[in-house]
Chain A
Amino acid sequence: MSYVIMAVRNLSRSKLRTTLTTLGIVVGVSLMVALFAIGEGMNVRMEEQLRALGGAEIMIYSTSGTRGMRVATRGNPISEEYVETVKAIPGVELATGILSGSGEARKNQTFIIGIDPESYFQLMGELNIIEGRTLLPSDLDSYGTVIGLNLAEELNVTIGSNLNTKSWGGAWDAPWISFEIVGICETGNPQQDRGMFIHLSHAQYILTSKDEYGAGERHVTQILVKTEDPSQIDDVVKRIEETVPDVRVFAAKTMIQRIQESMSTMILFLEGIGSIALIAGTIGILNTMMMSVFERTREIGTLKAIGAKDREILVIILTEAAIIGILAGAIGCMTGAAGTLLWANFSRTGYGITSIQPVITLEILLTMFGIGIVTGVLAGLYPAWRASRMDPVEALRHG
């Protein structure tokens, strides 16, 4: 028999109360696990988006029709001519225009990325092709497309399959093209992995034509720029702003800074919510331990009479609190992880905030398990101290 066995026996004396007390911390810990997992997911998403920037040091969007990094199909795109204008600006090494937007392939939503293969791959680097080949200039005439792995799996298509594609939500007579899949890629960017890389002019036909006889507007939604000298980026940005009308110009590094700022605010907010839940749970344990110490006043008096020192009483009560903490930490980690995985399962096909895939790391679980234990012990400190300081004569006289 040890203090641990004594503590377990005491806790099982009123199982319901112990369960409810534990539940308080369980809620706090599982909430924190979920929140941290989402925060981690946001980090991963940011890294993906940064990776998606590739070699692009400057991004040019139109003043309307775009929102952050997501590009709407409608709005006020940039004329393709400006790609050449930007290329001619001093300090610009490479520039490529992209037209992207929601498309529909075999009734499924997809993300159309219209590119000029030569300049795009030169600037962004090659796609990670896992099957077939990359998009070539010759695909302009043969209507080839490279699609993302997830889309390929969703549609159950492979190299050589044809994909009838039009704009998402387009009318029955909306312009469409039957593409032949020439390659399947996996870039790690969820939008691209559910997307189709096609030639810019194909994208222009699908996304900007008024009807199926239209030729499509020669528009792009963004222009990516690589500079000759990265230390001159700010000057180049200024020059672009002066030369090209109605556009917003971002340096990648400022964008990264901004994302990181909003991300850390978000994570701070999430941590705040979790802490409040944990504090509530801590008060729950504190309350229960105070009550259970009070109820056992005479027992504590007895322990003192038969020779227990203050420190030993303290350890006995703290052991109980620690066991609650260990239980709550373990259960909280499990329910938190389970709930998070469930969320991840539902959010796989979502967009926007719900598309963030929570990421549970061992570090999160260990941290939260530790916090569960620490919470238990902290909440037990005061009741344990009170118990250890009881006057034995008074305590023995108690009810």
Chain B
Amino acid sequence: MAEKRIADVRRKVSNFLDTDVPVKTGNIVETQNLTKVYRMGKIDISALTGVDLKVPRGDMICLYGPSGSGKSTLLNLIGGLDKPTSGRIMVDGVDLTKLGGNQLAEFRLRKVGFIFQNYNLIPTLSALENVELPMIFAKVQKKERKKRAVEMLASVKMDDRLKHKPDELSGGQQQRVAIARALVNRPSIILADEPTGAIDTETIRMLMRIIRELNSEGQTFVIVTHDLLVAQACKRSIILRDGRIERELTGKEIAQAIIASGRENARS
């Protein structure tokens, strides 16, 4: 069953991207020797150095690390927002390094859902319209669009706030709308960049519960964070430092770190 779905997705991908369908793998994300160098004036700054990352389908992985560790850069590369200096990124069977600007936009539209720290909802649009937006770009019919947007908002328990504008919603509510927006085009992977950065602990728990629920239904997540509560809620946590993958954090380490920081256990 799962095999068939993957095959379907693959066919669709090759249809709209018109690229070769590569060797089937169980990994939704696979990077090889990924390097990103920024040029600041005359100085080259290495944001990522030789990163090899594999994210299996259905995983919920956390990229943990201090600021400047390259975790956001890695996320942007996986999401097709940025292009690597060298190396290869395969996402859901698509080699991103081979795509041009518009193809990357199409890739983001169909394959990726983004969740941001500042929610980044469009302030002039209602919750419902914000969720409809990706479907407008995907040319989904109006009726279908509205139906799916309501469904998605219901799945994050925001269906009672359809007509509200972002500034009439709390931070947690806005982030739930943003999650619905990320989900609505049925992406292969959801990428979240510090999704809880501006939210209180209670709301973080609620959001992570929603994300875990979605993950248990098979949705793959990659979450960038420096919040241990978020790391604890994920299946795996990877530490990045100075643009390299340092190692994987164990659950025990996270729990100890949380106790040391004086915060409550997120799973309670």
Query: What is the CB-to-nearest-CB distance from B138 to chain A, in angstroms, rounded to a whole number?
Result: 7
In the complex, residue of chain B having the shortest beta-carbon distance to the beta carbon of A397: B72
Q: Say yes or no: A312 contacts B137, CB within 8 Å.
A: yes
Can you list, as one digit per residue, whether each of A47-76 has a CB less than 8 Å from chain B (1) or not (0)? 000000000000000000000000000000
Say whether B65 faces chain A, with CB atoms less than 8 Å apart. no
Complex contacts, B136 vs chain A, CB 8 Å: 1-2
**Could you tell me the distance between the alpha carbons of A78 and B181 in the complex, rounded to whole angstroms?**
91
CB contacts under 8 Å to A, within B95-114, are 101-102, 105-106, 108-110, 112-114
Q: Say yes or no: A305 contacts B137, CB within 8 Å.
A: no
Complex contacts, B185 vs chain A, CB 8 Å: 307
Can you list, as one digit per residue, whether each of A140-161 has a CB less than 8 Å from chain B (1) or not (0)? 0000000000000000000000
Complex contacts, A310 vs chain B, CB 8 Å: 101-102, 105
* Chain B residues at the A interface, C-beta cutoff of 8 Å: 76, 79, 81-82, 101-102, 105-106, 108-110, 112-114, 116, 118, 120, 122-125, 129, 132-134, 136-138, 181-182, 185
In the complex, residue of chain A having the shortest beta-carbon distance to the beta carbon of B105: A309
**Could you tell me the distance between the alpha carbons of A10 and B122 in the complex, rounded to whole angstroms?**
10
Complex contacts, B120 vs chain A, CB 8 Å: 298-299, 301-302, 305, 396
Say whether A6 faces chain B, with CB atoms less than 8 Å apart. yes
**Could you tell me the distance between the alpha carbons of A307 and B185 in the complex, rounded to whole angstroms?**
10
Query: What is the CB-to-nearest-CB distance from B96 to chain A, in angstroms, rounded to a whole number?
Result: 14
**Could you tell me the distance between the alpha carbons of A310 and B102 in the complex, rounded to whole angstroms?**
7
Q: Say yes or no: A307 contacts B134, CB within 8 Å.
A: yes
**Could you tell me the distance between the alpha carbons of A13 and B102 in the complex, rounded to whole angstroms?**
29
CB contacts under 8 Å to B, within A160-208, are none
Say whether A9 faces chain B, with CB atoms less than 8 Å apart. yes
Query: What is the CB-to-nearest-CB distance from B236 to chain A, in angstroms, rounded to a whole number?
Result: 24
Number of chain A residues whose Cβ lies closer than 8 Å to a Cβ of chain B: 23
Query: What is the CB-to-nearest-CB distance from B225 to chain A, in angstroms, rounded to a whole number?
Result: 17
Q: Say yes or no: A302 contacts B137, CB within 8 Å.
A: no
A-B contact pairs, 24 of them (CB 8 A): A1-B129, A1-B132, A9-B124, A9-B125, A13-B124, A298-B118, A299-B120, A299-B123, A303-B133, A304-B81, A304-B108, A305-B114, A306-B108, A306-B113, A306-B133, A307-B137, A307-B138, A307-B185, A308-B109, A308-B137, A309-B102, A392-B82, A393-B76, A396-B81
Query: What is the CB-to-nearest-CB distance from A278 to chain B, in angstroms, rounded to a whole number?
Result: 29
Q: Say yes or no: B122 contacts A305, CB within 8 Å.
A: no
Complex contacts, B138 vs chain A, CB 8 Å: 307
Q: Say yes or no: A305 contacts B110, CB within 8 Å.
A: no
* Chain A residues at the B interface, C-beta cutoff of 8 Å: 1-2, 6, 9-10, 13, 298-299, 301-312, 392-393, 396
Complex contacts, A304 vs chain B, CB 8 Å: 81, 105, 108
Complex contacts, A13 vs chain B, CB 8 Å: 123-124
Complex contacts, B102 vs chain A, CB 8 Å: 309-311
**Could you tell me the distance between the alpha carbons of A307 and B109 in the complex, rounded to whole angstroms?**
4
**Could you tell me the distance between the alpha carbons of A396 and B79 in the complex, rounded to whole angstroms?**
13
Complex contacts, B122 vs chain A, CB 8 Å: 6, 299, 302-303
Q: Which residue, of B82, B114, B124, has the highest number of chain A Cβ atoms within 10 A?
A: B124
Query: What is the CB-to-nearest-CB distance from B249 to chain A, in angstroms, rounded to a whole number?
Result: 27
**Could you tell me the distance between the alpha carbons of A308 and B137 in the complex, rounded to whole angstroms?**
6
Complex contacts, A301 vs chain B, CB 8 Å: 120
Query: What is the CB-to-nearest-CB distance from B126 to chain A, in angstroms, rounded to a whole number?
Result: 9
Complex contacts, A305 vs chain B, CB 8 Å: 79, 81, 108, 114, 116, 120
